[in-house]
């Protein structure tokens, strides 16, 4: 069934409500079960509806007789971190306006291992791109920007150097409004990179505003209406060339400040795309009335996503060669279990 989430019934609206709803690992597991199978158990192996619960909490399918747990096949698969800790990390991740760093999660939840907190957040970032999400429509500005630390000798232009080239696409609405955005790391600024970026993130039939860079030549043959704006012509007219594409410049500036602020700029190139996915997820939900709704969306995506193993996350280089000093202990944190509470999402 298609559930229209209701505040206070399907997701908590405050920290106090969150603590009441998810006071034990059993509460968290029950909520994940409801998110994954709102109409009842459906076997992930054969797709058959119906089964029964075994004594160890797993489900047995009525069709193929296979057994599965609520967390199997999700990002919580085989986790040794208590679900109460996971849910608290998800709450911090979803409700903080500018997000949260791994070091902050480590300190807030008293997690001894920095790598554990780092991996938890990266697993959450990995689910934020919804399969089959709608592409941008209407009028869309497209441009590229460099993201990375200061590099001597690199002053503008499209020479990559040690920085990462990132494509940015932003919906614009009259007179100066911004809609959704998309960001992706590009290998270079050639047509071979820019054309796939546009087709992947912008719906055909859209008016695409670009600068005069030759890499965008030919996108009108792909079903788009190109509005070409020349920075050189703007300079000759005495206009500010940066005002030709104000939406993408604003979004790119916000992304850079977010990386420098929340994450202190310590983002490796190998993981930059996952951080961009998080920024896009937050930006596109900036008008959400309830941060609890964002928590609901994150957890719903998490139970629908396949497992993400630590070995899949540690692209070279590893997250931190010298991780920040944490607590005295190491390993996984203790559960945050509290007295049991009611389960509002089960209400009719």
pTM: 0.83
Does 176 have pLDDT greater than 50? yes
For range 5-25, the mean pLDDT: 94
**Per-residue pLDDT at 270:** 86
Eight-state DSSP code of residue 74: S
DSSP string, 111-180: -S-HHHHHHHHHHHHHT-S-TTPPPB-SEEEEEEEEESS--TT--SSS--TTSEEEEEEEEEETTTEEEE
R_g of the chain, CA atoms, integer Å: 23
Instruction: State the Cα–Cα distance between residues 280 and 61, nearest whole angstrom.
Output: 38
Does 141 have pLDDT greater than 60? yes
**Per-residue pLDDT at 107:** 93
For range 94-105, the mean pLDDT: 90
**Per-residue pLDDT at 276:** 95
Q: In percent, how much of the chain has pLDDT > 90?
A: 59
- Which of 20-24, 55-59, 83-87, 333-337 shows the lowest per-residue confidence on average (mean pLDDT)? 333-337
Does 117 have pLDDT greater than 90? yes
* Nearby residues of 41 by Cβ (< 8 Å), 6 or more positions away: 49, 50, 51, 59, 61
Instruction: State the Cα–Cα distance between residues 73 and 35, nearest whole angstrom.
Output: 14
**Per-residue pLDDT at 330:** 39
The whole-chain average pLDDT of the chain stands at 85
Question: Where would I find the beta strands (DSSP E) of the chain?
Answer: 51-53, 59-61, 67-68, 139-147, 164-173, 177-186, 207-210, 225-228
The closest alpha carbon to 168, from 188, 186, 192, belongs to 186
For range 146-168, the mean pLDDT: 67
**Per-residue pLDDT at 240:** 63
**Per-residue pLDDT at 4:** 85
Does 59 have pLDDT greater than 60? yes
Q: For strand 207-210 and strand 139-147, is the pairing parallel, antiparallel, or unpaired?
A: parallel
Instruction: State the Cα–Cα distance between residues 90 and 107, nearest whole angstrom.
Output: 15
- Please write the tens of the pLDDT for every residue from 285-304: 988 878 899 999 999 999 99
Does 218 have pLDDT greater than 60? yes
Instruction: State the Cα–Cα distance between residues 95 and 105, nearest whole angstrom.
Output: 13
* Nearby residues of 311 by Cβ (< 8 Å), 6 or more positions away: none
For range 97-101, the mean pLDDT: 88
- Please write the tens of the pLDDT for every residue from 204-216: 999 999 999 999 9
Does 154 have pLDDT greater than 50? no
- Please write the tens of the pLDDT for every residue from 275-286: 999 999 999 998
**Per-residue pLDDT at 2:** 65
- Please write the tens of the pLDDT for every residue from 308-319: 888 888 865 454
**Per-residue pLDDT at 161:** 54
Q: Are residues 71 and 79 in contact, defined by beta-carbon separation less than 8 angstroms?
A: yes
Token couple for 110:
């008293």
Instruction: State the Cα–Cα distance between residues 228 and 210, nearest whole angstrom.
Output: 5
**Per-residue pLDDT at 251:** 96
Does 256 have pLDDT greater than 90? yes
Does 331 have pLDDT greater than 50? no
């Amino acid at each position: 069934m298609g559930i229209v989430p209701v505040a206070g019934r399907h997701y908590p609206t405050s920290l106090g409500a969150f603590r009441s709803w998810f006071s034990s690992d059993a509460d968290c597991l029950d909520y994940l079960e409801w998110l994954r199978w709102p109409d009842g158990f459906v076997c992930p192996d054969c797709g058959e509806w119906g089964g029964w619960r075994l004594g160890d909490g797993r489900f047995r399918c009525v069709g193929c007789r296979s057994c599965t747990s609520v967390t199997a096949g999700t990002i919580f698969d085989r986790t040794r971190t208590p679900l109460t800790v996971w849910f608290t990390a998800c709450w911090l991740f979803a409700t903080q306006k500018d997000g949260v760093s791994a070091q902050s999660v480590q300190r807030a939840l008293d997690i001894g291992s920095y790598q554990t907190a780092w991996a938890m957040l990266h697993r959450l970032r990995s689910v934020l791109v919804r399969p089959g999400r709608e592409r941008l429509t209407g009028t869309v500005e497209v441009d590229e920007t460099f993201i990375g630390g200061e590099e001597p000798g690199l002053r503008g232009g499209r020479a990559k150097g040690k920085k990462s080239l990132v494509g940015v696409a932003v919906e614009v609405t009259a007179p100066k409004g911004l809609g959704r955005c998309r960001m992706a790391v590009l290998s270079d600024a050639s047509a071979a990179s820019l054309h796939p970026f546009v087709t992947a993130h912008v719906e055909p039939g859209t008016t695409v505003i670009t600068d005069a860079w030759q890499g965008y030549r030919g996108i009108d043959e792909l079903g788009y209406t190109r509005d070409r704006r020349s920075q050189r012509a703007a300079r000759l007219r005495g206009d500010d060339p940066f005002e030709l594409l104000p939406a993408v410049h604003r979004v790119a500036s916000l992304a850079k400040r977010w990386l420098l602020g929340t994450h202190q700029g310590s983002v490796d190139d190998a993981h930059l795309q996952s951080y961009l996915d998080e920024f896009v997820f937050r930006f596109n939900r900036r008008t959400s009335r309830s941060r609890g709704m964002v928590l609901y969306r994150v957890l719903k995506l998490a139970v629908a996503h396949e497992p993400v193993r630590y070995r899949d996350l540690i692209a070279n280089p590893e997250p931190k060669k010298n991780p920040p000093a944490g607590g005295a202990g190491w390993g996984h944190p203790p559960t945050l279990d509290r007295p049991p509470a009611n389960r509002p999402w089960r209400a009719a």
